[in-house]
Amino acid sequence: MKLLHTSDWHVGKTLKGRSRLDEQRAVLAEIVALAIDHEVDAVLIAGDVYENVAPTAETQQLVVRTLLQLARAGIDVVAIAGNHDHGPTFEAYRPLMGQVGIQLIGNVRPADKGGVCRLTARSTGEQAVVATLPFLSQRYAVRAAQVLTNTPAENVGAYDQHVRDVLANLTAPFGNQSVNLVMAHLTCIGGTMGGGEREAQSIMEYSVPAGIFPLDAHYVALGHLHRRQRLPAAAPVHYSGAPLAIDFGEQDNTNVVCLVEVAPDRPARVTDLPVSSGRRLRTITGTVDQLLADPDSYGDDFLRLRVTQPAYAGLREQVLEQLPNALEIRIDPQFSVNPHRPPRHDRLVRTPAQLFSDYCADAGVEDPRLNRLFDELADELAVSGRG
């Protein structure tokens, strides 16, 4: 059977206040097209469908329409909630979506109460068993009393053991004649973060070893870490990564979905399918003249600029006039710190003009026009008697 593994859509995520819904719409359309073109039997979405637990109506509409497009194409869908999603909302939609072949799992469930999904491949008639593990909060996994009294190492061990116990229950229905799949949203020790994850829910108490997954799992589809990677383990453990870089920390990631071809009697074969929709994120370093030398070369890319010269009045406006997609403009630290700042006791006897000059130097601003304007304002205040 053929499967498409994807995760971490983060639909509704903005970047520096800029909506990216059009990009997200294009990315999801591309994923649907890939699923149809490769005639997959099912799409596995391993969590973080949304950016936050209260997505807008427009955001929900985009996701629902995407899932329905897959269902109308005869493709089964299994989606679990990640740490950014609202599990109870997934559960509320579960009965309705189940009517059209979309299986949503928002909360951790035992195998006999919906924690295991069963699929029949339309292409081969093969049966698949999918053990589903939505994001499991550490505070849910480890009792509050233990959190308060245990050492961090003890809490890590408690979380690890709880996940093992849950997986043992979920994978008990695995059989020799079925395609055995695990889908989970969690952090595996040794995994490389993509750059945009919530670290507080990705490290320490939230980590488990990749060896936690059973040997008879034909494929383990993970979400949570945004970088595409396979982890060393007895079972094939894969993060598909995010199909769209969600911030500049992910600008160098490779955005893909995973095409998985698997049968009960042979190992999974995994092929990365590139996802090219969405704007590129780039960090550019240079002086203002260097940054503005060839504006057309940046295309529609979103930019993070590091300016290697002192700031001056109007710098930001000058840059944005030619580079409207510059979402962040910062002066390189070596040009924003004044190493020759006078001691505090010296500053107490300096004139207002000297103090203002010191302030500009401390802020990395080097613009004689500002000093002249300050002098003019100071003179006006002195003449008016308000100085």
Tell me the pLDDT of the chain (387 aa) as tens digits.
999 999 999 999 999 999 999 999 999 999 999 999 999 999 999 999 999 999 999 999 999 999 999 999 999 999 999 999 999 999 999 999 999 999 999 999 999 999 999 999 998 999 999 999 999 875 555 443 454 445 555 555 678 888 999 999 999 999 999 999 999 999 999 888 766 555 544 444 568 999 999 999 999 999 999 999 999 999 999 999 999 999 999 999 999 999 999 999 988 999 999 999 999 999 999 999 999 999 999 999 999 999 999 999 899 999 999 999 999 999 998 887 555 555 554 545 567 777 777 777 777 677 778 778 877 787 777 666 554
Angle at 179 between CA 48 and CA 267, to 5 degrees: 95
Closest CA to 312 of 373, 353, 355: 373
Same domain, 268 and 294: no
Among 274, 296, 316, give the residue marking a domain's end: 274
Q: Which pLDDT belongs to residue 343?
A: 53
DSSP string spanning 14-40?
-BTTB--HHHHHHHHHHHHHHHHHTT-
Terminal Cα-to-Cα distance of the chain (whole angstroms)? 81
E-assigned strand segments in the chain: 2-6, 42-45, 76-80, 102-105, 116-120, 127-133, 179-185, 187-188, 207-208, 219-223, 229-231, 237-239, 256-263, 266-274, 281-286, 302-307, 326-331
Among 336, 356, 373, give the residue marking a domain's end: 336
What is the rounded CA–CA span in Å between residue 215 and residue 359?
64
Same domain, 246 and 324: no
Say if CB 332 and CB 308 are below 8 A apart: yes
Same domain, 9 and 137: yes
What is the rounded CA–CA span in Å between residue 164 and residue 88?
23
Strand pairing partners for 240? none
Among 227, 253, 274, give the residue marking a domain's end: 274
Same domain, 85 and 178: yes
What is the rounded CA–CA span in Å between residue 250 and residue 344?
42
State the DSSP code for 50: B
Q: Please count the other Cβ atoms lying within 10 Å of the Cβ belonging to residue 299.
A: 10
Q: Which pLDDT belongs to residue 358?
A: 76
Q: Which pLDDT belongs to residue 200?
A: 46
**Strands 179-185 and 127-133, sheet pairing:** parallel
Say if CB 288 and CB 335 are below 8 A apart: no
Same domain, 144 and 173: yes
Same domain, 214 and 305: no
Same domain, 209 and 268: yes
SS3 of the chain: helix, strand, coil, percent, to 5: 35, 25, 40
What is the rounded CA–CA span in Å between residue 319 and residue 317?
5
Same domain, 292 and 156: no
Q: Which domain holds residue 139?
A: 2-274
What is the rounded CA–CA span in Å between residue 24 and residue 244?
8
Same domain, 220 and 369: no
133 φψ region: left (φ > 0), alpha (ψ -120 to 50), beta (else): beta
Q: Which pLDDT belongs to residue 349?
A: 56
> Encoding tokens for residue 121?
């491949």
Same domain, 71 and 219: yes
Q: What is the CATH number of the domain that holds 29?
A: 3.60.21.10
What is the rounded CA–CA span in Å between residue 37 and residue 31?
10
Strand pairing partners for 194? none
Same domain, 131 and 202: yes
Q: How many domains does the chain have?
A: 3
Same domain, 241 and 293: no
What is the rounded CA–CA span in Å between residue 385 and residue 387?
6
Q: Which pLDDT belongs to residue 148?
A: 41
Residue owning tokens 């049968």: 263
> Encoding tokens for residue 169?
């229950």
